[in-house]
Structure 1
Amino acid sequence: MTFDASRYADLLEEAHRAFLEDTAYAIALAEDASAMKTRQENRDDPDQLRTDVLRLHAQGAGLGEIQRVVHASRESVAEVLKDAPARPGGAFPTVNKSSTSNTPAPKPVTRSKRLRKWKPEPLAPDDPRHGTNNGYVNYRCRCDPCGEARKTFRRRLKENPAGRAKSSEHGTRSRYARGCRCDDCKHAATSAARADRDRKREGGGNTTPEH
């Protein structure tokens, strides 16, 4: 069986189209194209095929697994292995499909559980960070001044969340939109809505000035 470059190109093009419709089908087509190319490379360079088969065998891969990795027939793999030494008993029984590449071994890394979590030192009595939100949150100080600073910070944050304008005065439409239902704010919202309707009838815009 000779390498069909036209068929190989057709498989790649069909795989590209299939990615837009059925990813699983596209992957299968791409794998078929890759296998076709690998088989041709094996025929062109039998010495490389023999090298790959023997290396995978030494790593502990079985006959079927070697066949899947190098995309060679079972008979071709068996022919290479007929004079090969026995597979080492302690070898790992599986091999990654990409093991035919000359990928270097991974470098050892420090396991995260060995890293010590940072723990802040207690603030000294005369530390200027006492009485601040930073002292309460980042340095875990629970003295009365730091506790009051935290309460003040949270209260201000609730009244004026980040990214929002400062709270409007009572008796305005924007204050009503933020949830206030006092008489002044309800009156302002009603008046603004009425003004919007009047402008729509007159064919004007829908922008209402702050009241």
Structure 2
Amino acid sequence: MCELGKKTILLLQPVGNNLNINNLYTIARDGNQAGEEELFKALTARFRLFARQRIWDELDSEEIVQDALMTICKEYRGIDFTTSFSAWAYKVLDNRILGYIQTKKRHNGRISSVSEAENLPATDRDNPKLELKRKLMQCMRKVASTNLRYARVLNLHYQGFNTEEICEKTGLTRNNLYSVLSRARSMLEYCLEKGDIK
């Protein structure tokens, strides 16, 4: 660790509970193997949350995350980023998710045999997880229509961003963030229980 220098040691110190993805990228790009491992651990955790919000099938979601991580692992050292590493990495994942959704739509449009149709659930209500996710999404939309800041803070928190990163992205102080997050959670819980915002 002494050979890394003060700059790298400062970058390896966590901000809150997580390390900043772009700082980890800088460390990993310079050839630090421990930094690279931390980078891909952080990306894996965040990508799983991000993908699960968009793809409800756990196996498909995990496959897409792994595919995106493989692409990033192969290409990240040779690319000069016009934005940031984090933005590029999320774009890689987002493109994989869009490809999956398009393929799924094409496949669902081709269901023709009775045996294929019998294997599908009659409605989403047959699957309690899907019903809960639908209800959660409806409540998140209601929260967003009532207070966009609440919805944004909840979404960032769910995606795994730490307190410092959420404060930076939203312009809130730490105390204000805790207050907004508490109110947003209360609003979401009420909506999930009652079906509406108070």
Check whether TM > 0.5. no
* TM-score category, normalised to shorter length: under 0.3
TM-score, normalisation: structure 2: 0.26
TM-score, normalisation: structure 1: 0.25
Structure with the bigger RCO (C-alpha within 8 Å, sep 6+) is 2
